[in-house]
Amino acid sequence: MSRVLILGGGGMVGQKLAHRLLADGLNGAACEITLHDMAFPPSGAEVADQRRGNLADAGQMEALAAEKFDVIFHLASIVSGEAEADFDKGWQVNMFPTWRLLEGLRAEHEADEGYRPRLVFTSSIAVFGGPYPDVIGDDYLSAPQTSYGAQKSICEAMISDFSRKGFIDGISIRLPTICVRPGKANLAASSFFSGIIREPLNGVEAVLPVSDTVRHWHASPRAAAGFLTHAGTMDLGLLGTRRALNLPGVSCTVAEQIEALREAAGNDVVKLIRPEPNETIMKIVEGWPRNFDPQRAISLGFRAEKTFAEIIQVYLDDDLPKP
């Protein structure tokens, strides 16, 4: 039975992935799951092996590498805002543990050349920085404008090189902004993209801090779990030496998001969105990509929603709290 480790397994996407693996297994076969994170939700995925730990602690990544998991999903990082506010912590959490993990896996490979684990790393569209073309193609440069983006970009380069050398079989997937995130708003500047859908659907007022002409790139939590399991099982040889991938998503404006919400839930729900322009958030969001043409990922079988209406439906199906 495949042994699977999810780093960041307590987070929203990690939990979605764990639920998916519990339900469908990996490649149609059941797998043994280990979750690693600082904390876990109280009624989360029913995985017996849940390890509390800090991936930045000395020896932590080396010890995990020594367990020779077959597939490692590396989703753990501090978010963009925190990496920006605490420069040192950003690098110590978002970069160096990945290096130590890779070195640990290389040591296991060198001791046993048959061992070449699958590593799926969640990178981000934060590796890009403006000015952008209207549509970002697969061969557009990385030019991060945050430390978080720089750290993701660097981990991508390491994972590509360790893969090229045959020590691991790795891939970095650049997730779109995940929307609609269940649960509470968080401090990310992107939080409102989920908030303006989620709060009204729950009868709560939501603040819209930007103009409704803002265009951005989205995929659902369900699509994220699908990206991860596909990346965990597909033939990565098809990627050649370019092992960082832009993923499919839905490009739409906030106005289009709101229209989709109106169609799904009616005018009274939409009335719960209150415009309250926030210069700081507007300035941050201005620097974000608006649209992609992810031909490689699509040809490699990665799938996301086609419309924002589908993204809302996923929230209604999977995450809307039942009364």
Of residues 242 and 274, the one with the C-beta less far from a second copy = 242
Pick from 87, 134, 268, 295 the residue near a second copy by CB under 8 A: 87
Of residues 38 and 157, the one with the C-beta less far from a second copy = 157
Number of residues that bind a second copy (CB under 8 A): 22
**Cis peptide upstream of residue 277 (ω within 30 degrees of 0):** no
Of residues 133 and 277, the one with the C-beta less far from a second copy = 133
129 is a contact residue toward a second copy (CB under 8 A): yes
Of residues 60 and 146, the one with the C-beta less far from a second copy = 146
Q: Rounded to the nearest whole angstrom, what is the least distance from the CB of residue 169 to a second copy in the complex? A: 17
Reduced to 3 states (helix: H, G, I; strand: E, B; else coil), residue 36 is: strand
* DSSP bridge pairs for 74: 7, 121
115 is a contact residue toward a second copy (CB under 8 A): no
Pick from 43, 213, 241, 280 the residue near a second copy by CB under 8 A: 241
Which 8-state DSSP code applies to residue 75?
A: -
Q: Rounded to the nearest whole angstrom, what is the least distance from the CB of residue 291 to a second copy in the complex? A: 16
Phi then psi for residue 210, to 5 deg, are -125, 170
Rounded CA separation 19/319 (Å): 13
CB 116 within 8 A of CB 107: no
Q: Rounded to the nearest whole angstrom, what is the least distance from the CB of residue 227 to a second copy in the complex? A: 20
Q: Rounded to the nearest whole angstrom, what is the least distance from the CB of residue 31 to a second copy in the complex? A: 31
Question: Tokens standing for 297?
Answer: 């990922």
Rounded CA separation 237/142 (Å): 23
CB 175 within 8 A of CB 219: yes
Tell me, residue by residue from 130 to 169, as one string, x for binding to a second copy by CB under 8 A and - for no binding.
---x-----xxxxxxx-x--x--xx--xx-xx--xx----
Beta strand 250-253 with 215-219 is antiparallel
Q: Is the dihedral of CA 69, 301, 144, 285 positive or negative?
A: negative
Of residues 206 and 236, the one with the C-beta less far from a second copy = 236
85 is a contact residue toward a second copy (CB under 8 A): no
Q: Rounded to the nearest whole angstrom, what is the least distance from the CB of residue 94 to a second copy in the complex? A: 11
**Cis peptide upstream of residue 207 (ω within 30 degrees of 0):** no
Of residues 24 and 293, the one with the C-beta less far from a second copy = 293
242 is a contact residue toward a second copy (CB under 8 A): yes
Rounded CA separation 39/53 (Å): 8
Reduced to 3 states (helix: H, G, I; strand: E, B; else coil), residue 170 is: strand
Q: What angle do CA 195, 201, 207 make, to 5 degrees?
A: 35
* DSSP bridge pairs for 125: none
Reduced to 3 states (helix: H, G, I; strand: E, B; else coil), residue 165 is: coil
Rounded CA separation 228/211 (Å): 32
Rounded CA separation 211/271 (Å): 16
Q: Rounded to the nearest whole angstrom, what is the least distance from the CB of residue 157 to a second copy in the complex? A: 5
Tell me, residue by residue from 40 to 79, as one string, x for binding to a second copy by CB under 8 A and - for no binding.
----------------------------------------
Is 148 one of the annotated active-site residues of the chain? yes
81 is a contact residue toward a second copy (CB under 8 A): no
* Residues recorded for the chain: 323
Catalytic residue, from 115, 132, 140, 148: name it.
Answer: 148
Q: Rounded to the nearest whole angstrom, what is the least distance from the CB of residue 282 to a second copy in the complex? A: 18
Of residues 77 and 147, the one with the C-beta less far from a second copy = 147
Annotated catalytic residues are: 148
Contact set with a second copy (CB under 8 A): 87, 129, 133, 139-145, 147, 150, 153-154, 157-158, 160-161, 164-165, 241-242
